């Protein structure tokens, strides 16, 4: 086991997973403190880096695409104080940070962890229920429905529609954008059959954010909902919400004579993902059945 303890937080690696605990320093963002300790399985990692600076350095984890619903929902837009996968390192601990990074890299090599995208989330997302008030409203999520309630700062036409209740089965996408410069941010839900290009200020399925302290917490709501939507790389558009069935090759993707071989290779790949723990027994069974139907 290796660990590095800093004012910014503590990272521990036991060979199978990393445990990331935020510190109590004033520079630790509200989102990191609220999210609390994270456990990241080794199989979710694509790499680790350590960058030295004059006064401080940074350890950075790079997760595989599709491994974490928080990263998917925020699209890499979390600033450093709120990003749980960065750790500020004091100059007198540079050697420890380099050793820590080497140990993680060696484990990735020994375990032959692929760096490519995954087909199901490997982190669970924030726990529910949760509720956040910021900008022009309050977003609450109990695991089944999102509730949007408005405050006195909400645009009149939007508030007139009253409280919105969105079943997760009707949500097709969620996105969070922070306020930047003179532009406001938002938390927006795309609802089946009700897509809109209206600005968040007027969109009844969006909370407008103005760059205040609690804005980043809306990313937790986005991540919790994202964790319960079909995985972006593993479910067709017309799949039932919550399904994580990986796509089998489309008939037009390969010549007819080669399709059987492609499907056999797909079965072997799925078997490898199942043995490595990337796919659960249930997910593997569903994915395998989908390929066998094509055969």
pTM of the model: 0.77
Q: Is the pLDDT of residue 275 over 80?
A: no
Burial, 155: exposed, middle or buried (Cβ in 10 Å; 0-12, 13-18, 19+)?
middle
Q: Is 230 helix (H, G, I), strand (E, B) or coil?
A: coil
SS3 176: strand
Sign of the CA dihedral 266, 269, 275, 277? Answer: negative
As a dihedral over the C-alpha atoms of residue 106, residue 112, residue 116, residue 117, rounded to 10 degrees, the angle is -100
Residues 6+ apart with CB under 8 A from 1: 12, 13, 14, 15
Strands 45-51 and 171-177: unpaired
209, β-bridge pairs: 185
- E-only strand ranges, 119-184: 130-134, 137-141, 145-150, 164-167, 171-177
pLDDT value of position 180: 86
Res. 134: pLDDT tops 90: yes
- Helix ranges restricted to H, the chain: 30-35, 69-74, 94-110, 156-160, 218-226, 256-275, 281-294
Query: Average pLDDT of the chain?
Result: 86
pLDDT digits (tens, 9 = 90+) for 210-255: 999 999 999 999 999 999 999 988 644 444 444 444 434 433 344 4
- Placement of tokens 């540079």 in the chain: 94
């Amino acid at each position: 086991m290796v660990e590095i303890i800093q004012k910014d937080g503590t990272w521990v690696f036991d060979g199978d997973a990393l445990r990331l605990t935020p510190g109590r320093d004033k520079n630790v963002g509200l989102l990191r403190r609220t999210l609390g300790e994270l456990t990241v399985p080794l199989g979710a990692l694509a790499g680790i880096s350590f960058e030295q600076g004059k006064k401080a350095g940074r350890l950075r984890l790079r997760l595989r695409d599709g491994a974490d619903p928080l990263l998917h929902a925020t699209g890499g837009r979390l600033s450093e104080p709120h990003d749980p996968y960065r750790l500020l390192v004091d100059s007198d601990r540079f050697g420890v940070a380099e050793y820590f990074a080497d140990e993680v890299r060696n484990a990735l090599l020994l375990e032959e962890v692929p760096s490519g995208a995954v087909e199901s989330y490997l982190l669970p997302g924030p726990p529910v229920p949760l509720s956040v008030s910021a900008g022009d409203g309050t977003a609450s999520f109990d695991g089944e429905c999102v509730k949007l309630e408005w405050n006195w700062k909400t645009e009149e036409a939007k508030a007139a529609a009253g409280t919105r209740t969105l079943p997760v089965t009707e949500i097709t996408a969620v996105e969070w954008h922070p306020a930047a410069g003179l532009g406001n941010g938002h938390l927006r839900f795309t609802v089946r059959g009700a897509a809109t290009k209206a600005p968040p200020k007027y969109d009844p399925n969006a909370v407008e954010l103005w760059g205040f302290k609690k804005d980043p917490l809306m990313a937790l709501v986005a991540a919790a909902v994202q964790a319960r939507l079909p995985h972006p790389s593993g479910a067709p558009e017309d799949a039932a919400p919550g399904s994580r069935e990986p796509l089998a090759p489309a008939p037009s993707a390969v010549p007819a004579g080669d399709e059987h071989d492609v499907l056999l290779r797909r079965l072997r790949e799925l078997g490898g993902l199942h043995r490595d723990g990337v796919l659960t027994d249930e997910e593997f069974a569903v994915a395998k059945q989908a390929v066998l139907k094509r055969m």
